[in-house]
Structures are given as structure tokens and as C-alpha cells.
Amino acid sequence: MGTRARSAVVAGLRGLALAVVGFAGSVTLFVLTVLSLAFVLLGVGALTTPWILDLVRHWANWRRAVAAEWCGVRIPAAYRPFPADLPGGVLGQVTRCRLMLGDPATWRDLRWLPVDMTAGFATALLPAALVLYPVEGYALAAGLWRVFTDGTHIGWWYAFVPVSGQGTALLAALLATVFLGVALFVAPALLKAHFQLTRAVLVPADGELAERVRVLTDTRKDAVDTSAAELRRIERDLHDGAQARLVAMGMDLGTIEALIEKDPAKAKEMVARARRSSADALTELRDLVRGIHPPVLAERGLGDAVRALALRLPVSAEVGVETAGRADAPVESAAYFAVSEALANVVKHAGADRVWVDIRHEDGRLRIAVTDDGRGGAAVEAGGGLAGIERRLGTFDGVLAVSSPAGGPTMVTMEIPCVLS
């Protein structure tokens, strides 16, 4: 019962926060979007609309991240990626405006805003009301009724109970107990219903299969391009690094063979140099292999590999792992390098002092959250590190959600459908 009561109270407080913050945020963004779209015909809106739609996407992505974290409701994002050769300046803004307005996901976001500030507000406030409203009933029974009545007339109504004295105040307390009992059992479900309403609006219904095929086609192309680029990198690193050292070492050995009887001291010096070259070549090969697939990942799994990664960070890091098995090697590799890129972004851009990595497997999905206490403002932009993570996850039908308000904190949530063995 203690666990149930705790869950109900948490659901009520979260619902209250969502009702207040969600209503204010959705109303503000809806008004700004309508005004900006109205000014598109004047030309000014083509420059402001991309910025405002970016804010709408961040707002929707924050709600996706909260839905997954609080209630386990997955709301995939299906935004079309921007081309890598997008121009800059005014022309780039106009092009971004055209692309974003041509994306069906943008219009789903805009349709969701009025729903969120009406039905969403009500469904978020309901669990809060069930949890907090009984407090008023108990306060009335404790004597607060005297403030509202002189003992002869009805001075206050608690729900449908008219409170005019201590007897009716005790009835109000009894009704408050009924409300509290209902809250214990339904408040978490009501909060989950709020997020399911959000999912029903944000997830495409008509043409979902066609959109899915398009996304898979794009991610397959990204995967092929990434694999080709990785092969070229490996070939270049081998040619410029280990191969060059091995060739030089072979030449040194030939020279040693000619000098070993004529000039033993010189031959000994070159043997030492050849030994150093072999050690350097071995180090480069190990680094190359680690960049392809870290040995600790293959031997000990994703959790230990991320812990080893965190130990090398210049900021304080905590890693929590709750998995009962291991995913397939390609999934683990994609998740490892996605976390590696997210941590690299924290070190380079966030200005953070601490970072937390949470890895768990729930409902057939590997879920990873990377949170830092930095300056915030992170966004998924074409050519950026987060866009690369999104493409990497998309190959496995995974999704990325970013919540990064100005001033922080930043939470990057990654999910990949998979089974553990």
C-alpha cells in the first residue's frame, strides 16, 4: 500500500506540473506559430517560422522524453532530416521554412498544441485533483468549516456536500477518503492516459506505413554511406599508420642484416629503433581495432564498456545499468558509439561538471539516457553530433529525444527495439 500511495502522490504532482507548464508552453508556442505563419506572406515569417518550429519540436521532444521516463509511453519522432548541403544565411532560413512546412510531422506537432492546452490540460490535472482535493475535505473536518459558515447557513460546498457545521464537515472528510481511495488506484493510470492522448495525436495514423518505409529507406542509405566512410577511414589509417611503420621496420631489418657483421653497434641501435617501431605499430593497430569494436564491449557487454568510457572523461560521471542479459552485437555496438558521441558532445559543448548515464531494458526496448548539468541549448541539427546519433539509431529502428532548455540540464534519451539473451 505504501508503494501504491507513493505512486499516486508522484503521479498527482507530475500531473499538476504538466498541467501548469504544459498549458503555458503550448499556448505560447501556438500563438507564436500562428503569428509567424500569418507573416509568411509578408516575407518576415519565412525567417522567423523555422526558429519557432524548432522550439515546437523541442517542446514535443521534451514531452516524448517525459512520456517514456515517467510512464513508459513511447512516442517516436518521425521528422524528415534536412539535406547536408543546406545553404546558410537568409536563403538557408527560407529553405528550412519550406522543408519544415512540407514535413507532415510539423503539422502533427501544430495539431497537438491546441489539444495539449485543452484536453491535455484536463487529463493532466485530473490525477492531481484526485490526489490533492482530499486535503480540503480533511481541512474542513478539522475546523476550517468555521471560516466559511456561521453554523446556520451553507457556507461552502465540498464536491456535492454542503458544509454548514461539524457534521457535514465530517461527511466531507468521508467523501475525501473516497476520493483518496480512488486516487490510489487510478492516478498513475490517468497520468498515463494523458501521454497516450499525446501519442495518439503525434504518431502518424494515415499513411503510417508509407512514412515508415520512407524512414527505413533513408536510414538504410545513411547506414550504407556511414559504412563506406568507415571503410575508407580504416583503409586510410592502416595505410598512413601501421602499414607505413611496418614498411619502415622491414627496411631497417634489411639494413641491420647488412650491418650486423661490419658495424655491430650501429646494427644494435637500429634493432632498438625497429623494436620501437613495432611497438608503435601494435599500439596503432590496437587503437584502430578499439575504434571499430572495443574489446571490452565484445568481452563484457555494453554496461562495462560504457563504464570504461566514463572513466576516461574529464568530468565526474555516474553509470547505472539495469539489464538482464545482452543485446545482439550490432545493437550493442550502435548503442556504445551513440553514447560515446553523446558524451563527447557533453565534454566539448555543455560546460558540465557532472554527467549521468542510465542504461536499462524495458518492454522490449534498450533505453539509454545521458543527462548533464551543463548550459543546455542542445539541438538536433543537420551535420551535428546529435543528428549523427539519430541516423545511427535509425538503422535499428531506434529513436532519439532531446530535452535541453537554456541553462540546462540536458537529457538525451535513446531507445532501440531489441531482445536480450
List, for residues 137-154, the tens digit of each pLDDT value: 888 788 777 777 765 566
The contacts of residue 1 (CB under 8 Å, 6+ apart) are: 184
Is 407 in the same domain as 336? yes
Is 287 in the same domain as 304? no
Cα–Cα dist 33/56, whole Å: 9
**Average pLDDT score over residue span 223-228:** 57
Is 213 in the same domain as 200? no
Is 396 in the same domain as 304? yes
Domain total in the chain: 3
Instruction: Tell me if 415 sits within 8 A of 384, measured CB to CB.
Output: no
Residue with the larger pLDDT of the pair 246 and 417: 417
Strands (DSSP E) contained in 84-235 are 156-158, 161-163
Residue with the larger pLDDT of the pair 288 and 26: 26
The sign one gets for the Cα dihedral 279, 282, 288, 294 is negative
Last residue of a domain, one of 269, 292, 315: 292
| For residue 310, pLDDT beyond 60 | yes
| For residue 63, pLDDT beyond 80 | yes
| For residue 225, pLDDT beyond 60 | no
pLDDT value for 115: 95
Residue with the larger pLDDT of the pair 307 and 212: 307
Is 265 in the same domain as 144? no
Q: What would the grid cell of residue 242 be?
A: 601501421
The contacts of residue 140 (CB under 8 Å, 6+ apart) are: 156, 158, 163, 169, 172, 173
Residue 287 belongs to domain spanning: 209-292
pLDDT interval class at 60 (50, 70, 90): very high
Last residue of a domain, one of 166, 186, 205: 205
pLDDT interval class at 111 (50, 70, 90): very high
The contacts of residue 76 (CB under 8 Å, 6+ apart) are: 64, 203, 399
**How crowded is the C-beta side of 28, counted as CA atoms within 13 Å?**
10
What Cα–Cα distance (Å) separates residue 8 from each residue in 11, 19, 22, 126? 5, 16, 20, 12
Q: CA dihedral defined by 371, 374, 380, 385, rounded to 10 degrees?
A: -90
Is 231 in the same domain as 317? no
Is 310 in the same domain as 170? no
pLDDT interval class at 357 (50, 70, 90): very high
| For residue 20, pLDDT beyond 80 | yes
Helix (H) or strand (E) holding 359: strand 354-362
| For residue 1, pLDDT beyond 70 | no
Is 11 in the same domain as 158? yes
pLDDT value for 55: 93
Q: What would the grid cell of residue 290 be?
A: 578499439
**Average pLDDT score over residue span 183-188:** 88
**How crowded is the C-beta side of 357, counted as CA atoms within 13 Å?**
28
pLDDT value for 273: 79
> Of 179-193, 252-266, 295-309, 352-366, which gets the smallest average pLDDT?
252-266
**What is the Cα gyration radius of the chain?**
30
Helix (H) or strand (E) holding 361: strand 354-362
Q: What would the grid cell of residue 199 be?
A: 501519442
pLDDT interval class at 347 (50, 70, 90): confident
| CATH number for the domain harbouring residue 329 | 3.30.565.10
Beta strand 316-322 pairing with 354-362: parallel
What Cα–Cα distance (Å) separates residue 401 from each residue in 110, 141, 390? 18, 47, 9
pLDDT value for 338: 87
Is 185 in the same domain as 167? yes
Is 111 in the same domain as 3? yes
Name the average pLDDT for the chain: 82
Cα–Cα dist 389/393, whole Å: 6
Is 182 in the same domain as 109? yes
Is 403 in the same domain as 255? no
What's the angle, vertex CA 409, arms to CA 68 and CA 36, rounded to 5? 80
Last residue of a domain, one of 292, 311, 345: 292
Query: Which of 29, 215, 253 is closest to 104 using CA atoms?
Result: 215
pLDDT value for 288: 58
**Average pLDDT score over residue span 78-102:** 82
pTM of the model: 0.56
In the three-class reduction of DSSP (H, G, I as helix; E, B as strand; rest coil), residue 417 is classed as strand
